[in-house]
Amino acid sequence: MAETRFLRDYSPYPFRVRETRLDVTLAPQGTVVSSRIEFERTGAGPLVLDGGTGLRTRSVTIDGAPVDAAHLAMTGETLTVAEAALPDRPFTFAAQVEIDPEANTALEGLYLSGGIFCTQCEAEGFRHITWYPDRPDVMAAFRVTVRSDLPVLLSNGNPVAQGEGWAEWHDPWPKPAYLFALVAGDLKAVSDSFTTMSGRNVALNVWVRPADLDRAGFAMEALKTSMRWDETAYGREYDLDVFNIVAVDDFNMGAMENKGLNIFNSKLVLASPETATDADYERIEAVIAHEYFHNWTGNRITCRDWFQLCLKEGLTVFRDQQFTADVRSAAVKRIEDVVTLRGRQFREDAGPLAHPPRPDRYEEINNFYTATVYEKGAEVIGMLKRLVGDEGYRKSLDLYFDRHDGQACTIEDWLKVFEDATGRDLAQFKRWYTDAGTPKLTLAENWDDEAGRLTLRFSQATAPTPGQPDKPARVIPIAVGLISQNGDEVLPTRVLEMTETAQDFGFDGLGSRPVVSLLRGFSAPVTVDRKMTTVERAILLAHDTDSFARWQAGHDLAMDSLVAMARGGSVDPVFTHALGGVLDDESLDPAFVALVLRLPGEDEIAAEIATRGATPDPDAIHQARDALAAELAAEHERGLSALYDRMEVPGPYSPEAGPAGRRSLRLAALGLLSRLDGGARAQSLWDSALNMTEKMGALAALVRLDRAGPALAEMEARFGGNRLVMDKFFSVQPMAAPPARAVPVASELAERPDFDWKNPNRFRSLIGGLAANHAAFHAGDGSGYDFVADWLMRLDPVNPQTAARMTTVFETWPRYDADRRAKARAALERLAALPSLSGNTGEMVRRILA
Ligand code: 0A1
Ligand code: ZN
């Protein structure tokens, strides 16, 4: 069991690093890393460096002389040079180690992906490359020489010199080791350049395998758009002569913001209309932006320690969300972000893995790259911006960049900047960073007809979370508007600042009782409990001026019907009727209508049932959702069919928001209509579609009907050699299959020779695909739990980080019935009993079962 680390134990490193030099001679099994680190003492104590068991240490010297054995101690994790062996003046520590990239299946440190040498050092991967103070508050300029016969040799910063078989790079900006990167391979680039706002020229490259070159152009366009946006929106300019992006197939996460050398999972770079969906394009654009934005929020200003991870991640997610809102549709983006937040973060916050955006303890930091740190971290910044206003936000960020450039900071530093720039006291606000759990906001309305006065009585409560039994009140910005019964807005958006456990807000001078449009724009990450009639919801769905609240009204109507149906009730005709109004309204953005048409997912319905104090039945939920879809289709067949025809996008494919929105509406209509036509439209769309978006929409509908045989065969014949498309082949089947078919289908797929399960994308496609099929994963016989647990047992020794992340599919187990709970527990206990279980997965399983 790994040791627990605590935020309160922080102490500064007792040395400053003036420069780090690396000389790396690459070989698949025996890469030699020679380091020279210039240290200067700033505190008391020995020199302690981090390094993994994978290092074969050949030599250790200080100022050129070997360190005497009596003063040198090496464990599996640290190297310590006693104080007595260290000079008083600045000194150079040098080491030569040998490492084995080919054996590195964990994909942390230096590894090989399809013949490309690449690195992943966040959070603590650099210690698998050489001995180093591997902590984010130790920052240094790096000078790196890469030696290899491979044609392209890259590292951070600017190229200094190169010759036959070597290249030297210099990164002048002090950085922590987690931002180090090195790449070598037979790569080709899409190249371009960018002129910064002060007129400097930057060379841009997106490096991919030669065969992928025709799919790298979109990433380059996204990079240029991001660079310009950061100048305009935040005044942030790029600070090196080159910016390189490299795509690799084997990657544990999405992408990594290494200084001047971003490394990406190839699925977040490569796109062509025939191989990538609209959602892929949008995601690629957002992640390219996210990693680029880290150059300021993460790299120039980094984190003091890993407890502060949301300092860079929450802010950078917030920035990439703003970017997508600007370059696409702000209304649609907000709804998408809230759907993701609820589906992942609320779920996390409601279960055994709940933790604050800034945790105060961890065993394995890689287990804290979570929806709470990222997505809730972003929501918290959104609230801050709402509270201080746009101008206050801009002033605060300017001060942040001014004051902390080149530093490793904390959440306290971040909040202090806002306090200093705006004069606001943020002591209570800080709870959003330190307290876990999603507050529940309850609204009771009191209407005084005589006085024309509406009083809103709000109360807030947050359920206990692991280690945090008591939850004091938080500041909650509640954006409200009032809509009259005939649909006019009688009060435009106003932000109420709730600071107490219970608080009243009054509205006078109202002629008649209005409908409250609550939590406009999703102004705070809370759940809402309020009584409302279906007619009032229908009024908001038809008339609310705030698109988020409008969508929410439709979503609530759907949810109420689904919950009722899962308990044997029937569809509320008010909902079916109100939906018709949305379908007929040609003034609405098709992407918005598509979101209204998308029914809540089965996991979300289960969460809602659990919130209402009942036990969700996965089979009943699946049937209810199917039945509602079928009823909506039957009720609106003509409208949907007209829409399906009207939304066809003619001409060449463009991934932009306009045409993508039309396709998403068209596919939403197809999903409903295929409940009636036996899959005829889906098959004909599959046959005629020229882009992957429509192909996948059609295919999902066919898989749901268990009629996808010919389409799947064709897909394989055409795209068998394309890993990213085949990942879709591996995920759509277990995910969309009728629940009873899903485990057999997944098991068969797992037997295929191209189920390369050591590749994280492929593993996540199939195993994650099955886990995303709610009724299949939670099958009453426990087969879903066993299937996933068996595969996690196999993956854990090979790639602990990816195995540990995937254990989160079990985090909702406490909400189900006793029989399912026992089966989930048994599956997790089998995993926990593995004699060689990794610390990563061990921590997760223990927390999930606690
Ligand atoms: N910082 C990256 C995400 C990332 C985190 C950890 C990794 O390995 C453990 C890899 C990437 C980002 O936010 O994009
Ligand atoms: Zn990030």
Q: Is 637 a known active-site residue?
A: no
Helix, strand, coil percentages (3-state) for the chain, rounded to 5, are: 45, 20, 30
Q: Show the tokens assigned to 739.
A: 């629940």
Which residue's alpha carbon is nearest to atom 3 within ligand 1?
256
Q: Is 444 in the pocket of ligand 1 (CB under 6 A)?
A: no
| 226 in Cβ contact with 234 (< 8 Å) | no
All residue ranges of the chain with pLDDT < 50 are none
ipTM over 0.90: yes
Catalytic residue (choose from 38, 108, 291, 336): 291
Determine the atom of ligand 1 nearest the C-alpha atom of 255: 14
Which residue's alpha carbon is nearest to atom 10 within ligand 1?
253
| Neighbouring residues of the ion ligand 2, judged by CB less than 5 Å | 313, 316
Distance from the alpha carbon of residue 25 to the mean position of ligand 1, in angstroms? 26
Q: Is 313 in the pocket of ligand 1 (CB under 6 A)?
A: yes
Interval 270-316: pLDDT, tens: 999 999 999 999 999 999 999 999 999 999 999 999 999 999 999 99
Residue 1 has what pLDDT?
64
Which residues are CB-neighbours of 175 under 8 A, at least 6 positions away?
A: 139, 140, 141, 142, 156, 259, 299, 302
Q: Please tell me the distance from the alpha carbon of residue 571 to that of residue 819, in angstroms, as a whole number.
A: 29
Distance from the alpha carbon of residue 294 to the mean position of ligand 2, in angstroms? 7
Q: Is 366 in the pocket of ligand 1 (CB under 6 A)?
A: yes
DSSP 282-317: HHHHHHHHHHHHTTTBTTTBEESSGGGHHHHHHHHH
Name the pTM for this structure.
0.99
Beta strands 158-163 and 166-175, pairing class = antiparallel
Residue type, 486: N
Phi, psi of 636 (to 5 degrees): -115, 30
Distance from the alpha carbon of residue 312 to the mean position of ligand 2, in angstroms? 7
Q: Is 255 in the pocket of ligand 1 (CB under 6 A)?
A: yes
- Give residue limits of the domains in the chain: 1-184
Residue 26 has what pLDDT?
99
**Under CATH, which architecture does the 1-184 domain have?**
Sandwich (2.60)
